[in-house]
């Protein structure tokens, strides 16, 4: 942010066009999930470039990464930016919650005295804000017509240059390798708590044996099981997103199980002799189950899954995942009692 | 979205064609080109690509569309099952 722009409706803060090193560092931090709920911009009206009464008004969320990407793409554009209070959440998720919504738009348009500032009565919204906004109700509520812009901020200059016309490609959501990869760090860091508890549990179970419980057994058997668990997590939360279009099956749990089984087979091939038959069988059951669970959780981050579909695959595959895990655990514990 | 298709015959999207006025808003807001205008009436052309985001129903001025929109994340759905509430991203404090 630098300086303000004097307008009939008061001074409007101006946003810088380029991103600094600090911005980039912040984005990297967000991708790993550190302080994501506190990465915000103050809601309200901003100026990008030298906007005038005829300049377009672009509506967005107050997640700082969202505003940053927008001002980066608008480096050569003069526009007004109306930042809604979405509590630091991106446009799509905030629209789903309704915080990027009809009422908040009407509130901000009124509070920022937008009608005194611009000569037109048009708001450009990101298309992915549409689940939270009823365009016809915004018109009724504040007299501004909603035009849905492109899905991606990068298409905004072309959209504006074409007289606010979006091509079909601008309207479609994609899920490219890059778009999938950028999501994997936060999938992993979101799991650290469950990973900690899971590891503790495996250490405790690992200590069970003919002499009831020994620390030696826990330290000998526990880490191997933890390594297997981590391999399952990586298969489900990293391998599945990367290989998503090529893994067999429509259900994410199936894709996860396939990736997990491949990793487990590699594991038994390499360490089978040391593991023995029972532990190998346990590995072949547990690793696909863990990977299936992690892969299923990735549905929430994708761009092409429906809640009804996720619920269906959960009802069908969760019992299988639980059964495989239970069988693996039973085999593993039983193995400790055998010579 | 070549190569990326989710489950078939599961989504809750419904269109009451009799109510449709042909404004085309639903086709505009759909991120997966599920709806299209044909003879100035909306039509569901790619039902299985629907992700139930609810954008079309929310933006239909005559309420011709309905869909059970919601959060498609597994842990949110489990949270919903356990607490008997609607699934929400809020359970983990982040989304």
Distance of CA B42 to the CA centre of its chain: 15
Helical axes A64-73 vs A21-31, angle rounded to 10°: 130
- φ/ψ (deg, to 5) at B53: -80, -25
Q: Are A310 and A268 in contact (CB under 8 A)?
A: no
* The pLDDT of residue A264: 97
Distances in whole angstroms, Cα of residue A257 to Cα of each of A160, A282, A300, B28, B77: 45, 14, 18, 37, 20
Q: Are A313 and A251 in contact (CB under 8 A)?
A: yes
Is B74 in Cβ contact with A310 (below 8 Å)?
Answer: yes
Beta bridge partners of B66: B14
Task: For chain A, give every domain's residue range.
Answer: 4-173, 178-337
Q: Are A10 and A113 in contact (CB under 8 A)?
A: yes
Is A312 in Cβ contact with B33 (below 8 Å)?
Answer: no
Give mean pLDDT, residues B36-60. Answer: 96
Q: Are A149 and A126 in contact (CB under 8 A)?
A: yes
How far apart, in whole angstroms, are the C-alpha atoms of residue A230 and residue A84? 40
Is A312 in Cβ contact with B1 (below 8 Å)?
Answer: no
* Other CB atoms within 10 Å distance of the CB of residue B91: 18
Q: Is the pLDDT of residue A10 over 90?
A: no
| The CA-based dihedral angle spanning residues A262, A267, A272, A273, taken in that order and rounded to the nearest 10 degrees | 150
Task: For chain B, give every domain's residue range.
Answer: 14-92
Which helix (H) or strand (E) segment holds residue A83: the answer is strand A79-83
Is B74 in Cβ contact with A299 (below 8 Å)?
Answer: yes
| CA-wise closest residue to B33 among A213, A119, A107, A172 | A172
Q: Is the pLDDT of residue A38 over 90?
A: no
Q: Is the pLDDT of residue B94 over 70?
A: no
Condensed to tens digits (0 to 9), the pLDDT of residues A124-175 reads 999 999 999 999 999 999 999 999 999 999 999 999 999 999 999 999 999 9
Token pair, residue A212, equals 């009831």
Which residues 6-25 of B are in CB contact (within 8 Å) with A? 6-8, 10-12, 25
Q: Are B3 and A245 in contact (CB under 8 A)?
A: yes
Is B68 in Cβ contact with A33 (below 8 Å)?
Answer: no
Give mean pLDDT, residues A68-82. Answer: 95
The distance of A274 to chain B (nearest Cα, Å) reads 36
pLDDT bin (cut points 50, 70, 90) of residue B79 is confident
Q: Strand A57-60 vs strand A79-83: parallel, antiparallel, or unpaired?
A: parallel
How far apart, in whole angstroms, are the C-alpha atoms of residue A263 and residue A258? 9
Distance of CA B9 to the CA centre of its chain: 13
Q: Are A14 and A48 in contact (CB under 8 A)?
A: yes
Condensed to tens digits (0 to 9), the pLDDT of residues A226-262 reads 999 999 999 999 999 999 999 999 999 999 999 999 9
Q: Are B88 and B76 in contact (CB under 8 A)?
A: yes
- φ/ψ (deg, to 5) at A301: -100, -5
How far apart, in whole angstroms, are the C-alpha atoms of residue A315 and residue B38? 37
How far apart, in whole angstroms, are the C-alpha atoms of residue A95 and residue A174? 18
**Contacts of residue B7 in chain A, CB cutoff 8 Å?**
250-251, 306, 309, 312-313
Distance of CA B91 to the CA centre of its chain: 22
Q: Any residues with CB less than 8 A from the CB of A323 and at least 6 apart, and which?
A: none
We find that the CATH architecture of domain B14-92 is: 2-Layer Sandwich (3.30)
* Other CB atoms within 10 Å distance of the CB of residue A21: 7
How far apart, in whole angstroms, are the C-alpha atoms of residue B84 and residue A140? 36
How far apart, in whole angstroms, are the C-alpha atoms of residue A81 and residue A101? 16
Nearest CB among A136, A302, A312 relative to B7 is that of A312
Give mean pLDDT, residues A294-319. Answer: 94
Which helix (H) or strand (E) segment holds residue A258: the answer is helix A252-297
Distances in whole angstroms, Cα of residue B95 to Cα of each of A97, A99, A290: 10, 13, 22
Give mean pLDDT, residues A22-49. Answer: 92
Give mean pLDDT, residues A11-24. Answer: 89
Is the domain defined by A4-173 classed in CATH 3.40.605.10?
Answer: no
Q: Tell me what the pLDDT averaged over chain A comes to.
A: 94
């Amino acid at each position: 942010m630098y300086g303000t722009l004097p307008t009939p409706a008061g001074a409007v803060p101006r946003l810088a066009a380029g991103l600094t090193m600090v911005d980039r560092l912040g984005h990297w931090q967000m991708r790993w999930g550190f302080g994501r709920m506190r990465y915000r911009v103050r809601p309200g009206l901003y100026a990008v470039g030298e906007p005038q009464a005829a300049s377009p008004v672009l509506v967005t969320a107050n997640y700082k990464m969202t505003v940053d990407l927008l001002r980066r793409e608008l480096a050569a554009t003069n526009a007004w930016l109306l930042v809604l209070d979405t509590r630091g959440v991106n446009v799509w998720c905030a629209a789903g919650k309704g915080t990027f919504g009809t009422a908040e738009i009407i509130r901000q348009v009124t509070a920022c005295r937008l009608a005194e500032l611009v000569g037109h009565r048009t708001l450009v919204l990101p298309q992915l804000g549409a689940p939270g906004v009823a365009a016809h109700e915004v018109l009724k509520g504040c007299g501004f017509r909603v035009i849905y812009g492109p899905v991606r901020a990068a298409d905004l200059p072309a959209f504006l240059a074409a007289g606010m016309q979006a091509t079909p490609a601008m309207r479609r959501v994609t899920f490219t390798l890059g778009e999938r990869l950028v999501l994997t760090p936060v999938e992993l860091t979101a799991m650290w708590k469950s990973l900690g508890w899971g590891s503790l549990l495996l250490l405790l179970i690992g200590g069970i044996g003919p002499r009831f419980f020994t620390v030696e057994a826990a330290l000998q058997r526990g880490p191997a099981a933890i390594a297997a668990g981590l391999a399952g997590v990586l298969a489900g939360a990293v391998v599945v997103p990367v290989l998503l279009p090529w893994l067999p099956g429509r259900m994410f749990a199936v894709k996860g199980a396939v990736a997990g089984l491949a990793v487990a087979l590699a594991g038994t091939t390499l360490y089978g002799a040391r593991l023995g038959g029972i532990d190998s069988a346990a590995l072949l059951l547990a690793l696909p189950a863990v990977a299936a669970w992690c892969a299923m959780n990735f549905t929430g981050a994708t761009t092409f899954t429906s809640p009804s579909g996720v619920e269906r695959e959960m009802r069908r595959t969760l019992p299988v995942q639980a059964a495989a895990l239970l069988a693996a655990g039973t085999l593993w514990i039983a193995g400790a009692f055998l010579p | 979205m070549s190569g990326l298709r989710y489950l078939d015959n599961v989504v809750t999207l419904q269109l009451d064609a009799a109510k449709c006025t042909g404004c085309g808003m639903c086709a505009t807001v759909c991120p997966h080109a599920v709806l299209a205008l044909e003879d100035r009436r909306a039509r569901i052309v790619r039902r299985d690509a629907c992700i139930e985001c609810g954008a079309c129903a929310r933006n239909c001025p005559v309420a011709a569309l309905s869909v059970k929109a919601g959060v498609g994340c597994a842990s949110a759905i489990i949270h919903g099952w356990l607490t008997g509430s609607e699934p929400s991203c809020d359970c983990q404090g982040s989304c």
